[in-house]
A = this chain, B = another copy of it.
């Protein structure tokens, strides 16, 4: 794989994630190879776009023979940086935090929640899944040892900016935000907002039109 160029467009990265999910599903369904048009059909992204997106990362696949799905999964996983384990700091030990700490999907993809934080003294010191809840003011001390670079924000909207500021101050570079609010962060920090409502809105369309 050639080194990625300086700046890959964000929609390309999102599509790579969609291709990867599609490839995993096809492999789970016992497929060994697929054409770009088959992956295109399943993801709703056209085949020319798929080939262009993959071409950012060097040549891949054999024209006319389609993709070997096992190799494509490994290739996409490397591109996405999923070939290393990531330690994750979780801020928020409420219901959502507890749900996320026991969400098995993260571990399967190499994301490991290593510590949790809250400002509620009643929660501090309790266990949450496999980790202990610390007070948010201990974040710097805890992460000096852990060195985690990924954070998850699972606090109410009103507390989310404080959580983001605290995480970025201790070296976190990538944050998954569940609070329904847009957050400010320095340009070198990546914040992704998980908007549970947008999925619900897409459902709504199908209710309307059937």
Contacts and interface: CB of A to CB of B under 8 A. Distances in A.
A174 B207 contact: yes
Interface string A71-102: 00000000111100010000000111011101
Interface of A: 4, 8-11, 13-14, 16-18, 20-21, 25, 44-45, 79-82, 86, 94-96, 98-100, 102-106, 108-109, 111, 149-150, 157, 173-176, 180, 182, 188, 190, 192, 194-210
Contact of A81 (B103, B175, B204): B204
A8 B44 CA distance: 12
A111 B204 CA distance: 9
Closest CB pairs A-B (n = 9): A81-B208, A96-B99, A11-B44, A95-B99, A190-B206, A95-B98, A105-B197, A174-B203, A105-B180
A175 B206 CA distance: 10
B103 A198 contact: no
11 contacts: A8-B209, A18-B198, A80-B201, A80-B208, A81-B205, A86-B207, A105-B195, A105-B196, A150-B207, A174-B203, A174-B206
